[in-house]
Amino acid sequence: MDLSERERKILWAKAGNRCSFRFQNSVCDQPLCINDQGKNVVVGQECHIVGEKPVAARFIDDFPARESYNNAILMCPIHHKLIDDKETRDIYTIEILIEMKRIHEQAIKTHENMVSSARLEIKDSEFSTEVNGADRAVGMEVNVPATLSNIKSELKAANVREAVGFSTNQGLTSMIYFCSACRNPFPAAFTGPLPASIQCPHCGQANSLKR
């Protein structure tokens, strides 16, 4: 397909690197860019919903925006062949493919929202770590989005090159927050993006963290 760079990025991003084929009880979850022996291989194919040429499946003469995101759907090679084959092309109509694409993109969006909203909550806990004779010692490591409250972490390190009390690859935010209800202060720490709200440990009020 002759898509613009912008529309190609939109198509691939919304498809989530997965084949968009969803028909009746059949759902394809084939990745469209795979890693084979350390090399990235693109197996996905950009397919026309309304066909490109008179001999193509689902062709409409004088169709506007034929080379556009709205007329494109991503498929693995098997399902691209299936929707365009002379024996099966009558099954996979324009309406079927438009709905297939819509449902697939909505499923990808829903999955992304669930992943981004999932946060680990660590509270009222003590962690104690002892390390003797190592290159690196870490007292506590959190590499997922998390909310931390009333946490104590102790690291005892001997004969180590590097000692780290707390480590994260998510970024760390710490603050003293004043509850909007009882006005009592309380400390809070977060890895990753800030949550929408945090509960006051004194009165239980949910305090918004939106800026």
Residue range 10-60, pLDDT digits in tens = 999 999 999 999 999 899 989 999 888 888 899 999 999 999 999 999 999
Q: Has this prediction a pTM greater than 0.75? A: no
Instruction: Measure the CA–CA gap between 120 and 147, rounded to whole angstroms.
Output: 6
Pairing of strands 146-167, 120-141: parallel
Residues 175 and 187 sit within 8 Å (Cβ to Cβ)? yes
Q: Using an 8 Å Cβ cutoff, are 91 and 85 in contact?
A: no
Is the Cβ–Cβ distance between 186 and 201 less than 8 Å?
A: yes
Q: What angle do CA 22, 27, 33 make, to 5 degrees?
A: 95
The predicted structure's pLDDT at residue 1: 85
Above 60 in pLDDT, residue 211? no
Mean pLDDT of 112-135: 82
Locate 79 and state its tokens: 């399902």
Burial code (b: 16+ CB inside 10 Å, e: under 16) for 123-135 equals eeeeeebebeeee
Q: Which helix (H) or strand (E) holds 109?
A: helix 94-117
